[in-house]
Chain A
Amino acid sequence: MSRALKRTMSRAHPLWLAYILHRLSGLGLVLFLPLHFWVLSLALDQAAQLDGFLALADLALFKFAEFGLVFLLALHMFGGLRLMALEWLPWSSRQKTLAAAAVAGSFLVSVSFLVQAI
């Protein structure tokens, strides 16, 4: 590890990790978006091309990448909501922890219901 990275890591703490995850997930989504838009616009020329791509999407590697993107999106959204609550809501840190736990819990429950329903 370079000395600069080592020093950065020596200053790391939980909120810093939340910050770096938010920034890196945002960057990841930025890189993905143009590709995502391009794939969808294939439908404009011919649906067969889009189907060809979607067949590719069945591959394990793509499945993994897709899961990663959904994960990045969820991470970035909840990280962002955390940030907005921290900045704009005059709550105590205990109230914020409880709210975050409630949101995360309800998200897990609703996703599991959705996955079971379909």
Chain B
Amino acid sequence: MTDNRFDFRLYMLQRLSALLMVPFVLVHLGVMIYAIRGGLSAAEILGRTQGSLAWFAFYGTFVVAVSVHTALGLRAILGEWAGLRGKARDGLSVVIALMLLALGARAIWAVTMGGSL
């Protein structure tokens, strides 16, 4: 594949990350509706997630897909609505992806592994 196929590969990544997230979003919405009954408390949330490798893997994968998908969506908007081109647009998109990844990783660590240390 030549380099001018770059945008097309990003398109595939955008669509595949979206497909990957469909089951995650459905489970996330389900958990959310389940969790908010009777109000939210830190103890309740942490009781469910703390030390759970399953939730760590679930939300870990979710955060990676979200970061990629979000940065790609913003890349299109930065080009079409903000007029950014080339390296400025790609660089800013990578920074956004890394920032979301870092914030998301910290959040997951906090609710699954962090408190148990």
The reply to whether A and B meet directly (CB within 8 Å) is yes
B-binding residues in A (CB < 8 A): 23, 26-27, 29-30, 33-34, 36-44, 47-48, 50-51, 54, 57-58, 66, 70, 73-74, 77, 80-81, 84, 87-88, 111, 114-115, 118
User: Which residue on chain A has the smallest CB distance to residue B34?
Assistant: A118
A38 and B77 in contact, given A57-B40, A81-B22 (Cβ under 8 angstroms): no
CB atoms of B18 and A40 under 8 A apart: no
Are A44 and B115 closer than 8 Å at their CB atoms?
yes
Give the A-B pair count, Cβ closer than 8 A.
Answer: 89
In the complex, chain B residues 2-56 whose Cβ is within 8 Å of any chain A Cβ: 15, 18-19, 21-22, 25, 28-30, 32-34, 36-37, 39-43, 45-46
Q: Which of B43, B73, B111 interacts with A40 by CB under 8 Å? A: B111
Could you mark each residue 89-117 of chain B with 1 if its beta carbon is under 8 Å from any beta carbon of chain A, else 0?
Answer: 00000000001100110111111001100
Min distance, Cβ B42 to any Cβ of chain A, angstroms: 4
Which B residues are closer than 8 A to A by beta carbons? 15, 18-19, 21-22, 25, 28-30, 32-34, 36-37, 39-43, 45-46, 66, 70, 73-74, 77, 99-100, 103-104, 106-111, 114-115
- In the complex, chain B residues whose CB is within 8 Å of the CB of A118: 33-34, 37
Give the chain A neighbours of B108 by CB distance below 8 A: 40
| Min CB–CB distance B69 → chain A (angstroms) | 9
* B100 neighbours in A (Cβ, 8 Å): 33-34, 37
Contact, CB under 8 Å: A43 / B40: no
